[in-house]
Amino acid sequence: MEEFANLPTTPVSDGLGGKNHMDIGIKPLSDHWHVYGRAFTVDAPAGENISVLEGMYNAKPGDVLVVDGKGATGNALAGDFVIGLAQSLGLHGVVIDGVIRDISDIRELDYPVFTRGATTAASKKTKEGNINVPVTVGGVEVNPGDIVVGDVDGVVIVPADQADEVAEKAQARIEKDEKREADYGGSSEKAREYIENFLRNNKK
């Protein structure tokens, strides 16, 4: 898991061939937040948070709680108190396909929360969902134990059986980008050289 601790989402996405990125509506509440960890999944009825709490209770420290809230925006699936519980339990972060509330207080926690936004309406507590089951969040299938990586660019899911391969490809992409910057960055002459080479090799 530590291979993903400092990897941005963009090279991870490249390592996945541009696949498995969640809908762009799911973003961190603060731009500097980065999250990584194994997915502990929750299939929650829209606006209902009984199973969200159940998931938090059963997840392990270092996990990322990934909640399929059906993209519903009418009721918050969590507020600052519930998010604070996840932080106290040692979870690395929370990803919700739905909305939360108490944004200002959650930002003060400085704890990674990725969501579609906020509403003033509290969670409902009338229906139970399921935990630790395959879910679809932001258009991406997430299985328990898959690896979650998120930052200001969005959230990507790495299937557990591809973790080593994707981490290796992501690191290679970072090294390639660093070399490209060293070779072509910093001057208009180098910028023109890069564009000329690119067009020569790619333009039909």
Q: Residues comprising the binding site?
A: 79-82, 101-102
Dihedral over Cα of 90, 63, 164, 12: its sign: negative
Binding annotation for substrate:
79-82, 101
Handedness of CA 110, 112, 116, 120 (dihedral sign): negative
- Max CA separation in the chain (angstroms): 65
Q: DSSP assignment of 98-167, as one string?
A: SBBS-HHHHHHHT--EEES-B-SSPPB-S---EESS-EEETTEEE-TT-EEEEETTEEEEE-GGGHHHHH
| Annotated binding-site residue numbers for Mg(2+) | 102
φ, ψ of residue 36 in degrees (nearest 5): -150, 155
Mark residue 110 as left, alpha or beta (left: phi above 0; alpha: psi -120 to 50; beta: remaining): left
